[in-house]
Amino acid sequence: MIRKVLTFLLLSSYFITSGCAVFLAGAGAGAGVYTYINGELKTSYQATFDETNRACTTVLKSLEMVITEKTSDSIKAKIKAKQTDGTPVTIKTVMITPGTTEVSVRSGIIGVWDKKISELIHASIAQRLQ
């Protein structure tokens, strides 16, 4: 617990002194540092790249979103989907370390992003990875 608090404080001081526009929230798997910039909500999960990508695909299907495109190499992947109303959703994953994967979710079109849907997708991914 002390390690998580120290990590949080270190990251907080880094972002404050570097002038980076970042929202810091919580600590722990799936609830570390969140960023929301230009419609993209990002966080890192304590899970392997493959586990995370499986969770992302499962979440989209469980939310009745149609996957329209999937691309992947050994360290990054992109899944494009459409909500039932046709609104686009894009999930990007990047392996940070073998046990840590960063996930960014963008829902909606440029200028009309839906942060609530992105938050729902992240919450569902976090639940699947527990």
pTM score above 0.85: no
Report the distance separating Cα 91 and Cα 22, nearest Å.
Answer: 20
DSSP-assigned beta bridge partners for residue 108: 113
Domain 38-129, CATH among 3.40.50.720, 3.40.630.30, 3.30.70.860, 3.30.310.80: 3.30.310.80
Question: Tens digits of per-residue pLDDT, 51-83?
Answer: 999 999 999 999 999 999 999 998 999 999 999
Please calculate the CA angle 6-96-123 and round it to the nearest 5 degrees.
75
Sketch the domain layout of the chain as residue ranges.
38-129
> What's the pLDDT band for 19 if we cut at 50, 70, 90?
very low
